[in-house]
Amino acid sequence: MENWLKVCILVVIAASTTGNEEVSPAKLLFSKQILNKYLVEGMDIVIKYSLFNVGGTAALDVQLADNTFGPLDFDVVGGQLKVSLDRIPPGGNATHVVVLRPSRFGYFNFTAAEVSYLPSEDATEAQIGLSSEPGQGAIVPFKEYDRKFSPHLLDWISFAVMSMPSLALPFALWFSSKSKYELIMKQKKDLKQG
Ligand SMILES: *[C@@H]1O[C@H](CO)[C@@H](O)[C@H](O)[C@H]1NC(C)=O
Ligand SMILES: *[C@@H]1O[C@H](CO)[C@@H](O)[C@H](O)[C@H]1NC(C)=O
């Protein structure tokens, strides 16, 4: 009976220790963001990829690939659309930036990039994940952008001109009251003397 109890206790202890040691495998959250406000034909677009390991072990042999930017639609001017990272520790982040130039205008559906990684030291099969999707965006023709935004400079100049009265008016008031005051003082003086 006593022996049996000992066995039971040992089993419980063993179970609880393996329970503690068991850590969740690496899990990567993957986001893809466009950092530009305007998408313009022939002008740089910055894409940021962020990976965040929310698992309990390091993600190994991380391969990031974005196959959504065809060479007919985009030129890569900075960074690479395929990168590999040895590991991302648990709780760790990795970011990657690519600069592209759209070679044509029109609507473009920005879809997900892919990531593959080994979720643990002894994993044999890679885990595949997809990034968030920025969604559809309008790439405006350069000419239109140029037409829309160069006049903005004129808008700013006319704004400055229009706001001038609001600065000029207080000055004019101050100046006229000052001269009125001086005139009164002068008249008083004249009266005393006269
Ligand atoms: C990683 O990124 C996530 C989400 O952006 C953030 O909550 C976390 O604090 C970051 N961790 C480190 C170590 O920077
Ligand atoms: C963009 O692509 C995604 C994934 O292929 C699809 O679900 C979505 O409907 C598309 N959006 C548009 C506006 O075409």
What pLDDT, in 10s, does the model give residues 52-103?
999 999 999 999 999 999 999 999 999 999 999 999 999 999 999 999 999 9
In a domain, residue 133? The reply is yes
pLDDT at 193 exceeding the cut of 90: no
Q: How far is the CA of 26 from the centre of ligand 1 (A)?
A: 15
Domain harbouring 125, CATH code: 2.60.40.10
Q: Judge contact between 90 and 24, C-beta under 8 A.
A: no
Atom of ligand 1 nearest to the CA of 29: 4
Q: How far is the CA of 16 from the centre of ligand 1 (A)?
A: 30
**134 and 57 fall within a common domain:** yes
In a domain, residue 62? The reply is yes
**133 and 158 fall within a common domain:** no
Q: 145: helix, coil or strand?
A: helix
**136 and 154 fall within a common domain:** no
Q: How far is the CA of 135 from the centre of ligand 2 (A)?
A: 7
Q: How far is the CA of 96 from the centre of ligand 1 (A)?
A: 15
- Mean pLDDT, the chain, whole residue set: 83
In a domain, residue 164? The reply is yes
Cβ within 8 Å of residue 59, ≥6 positions away: 26, 27, 28, 51, 53, 87, 88, 117, 118, 119
In a domain, residue 7? The reply is no
Structural domains counted in the chain: 2
pTM of the model: 0.70
In a domain, residue 18? The reply is no
**76 and 94 fall within a common domain:** yes
Residue 136: CB within 6 Å of ligand 2? Answer: yes
**123 and 191 fall within a common domain:** no
**pLDDT at res. 91:** 96
Q: Judge contact between 119 and 110, C-beta under 8 A.
A: no
Tell me the C-alpha distance between 126 and 128, whole Å.
6
Which ligand lies nearest the alpha carbon of 89? 1
CA-based nearest residue to 91, from 49, 47, 127, 57: 57
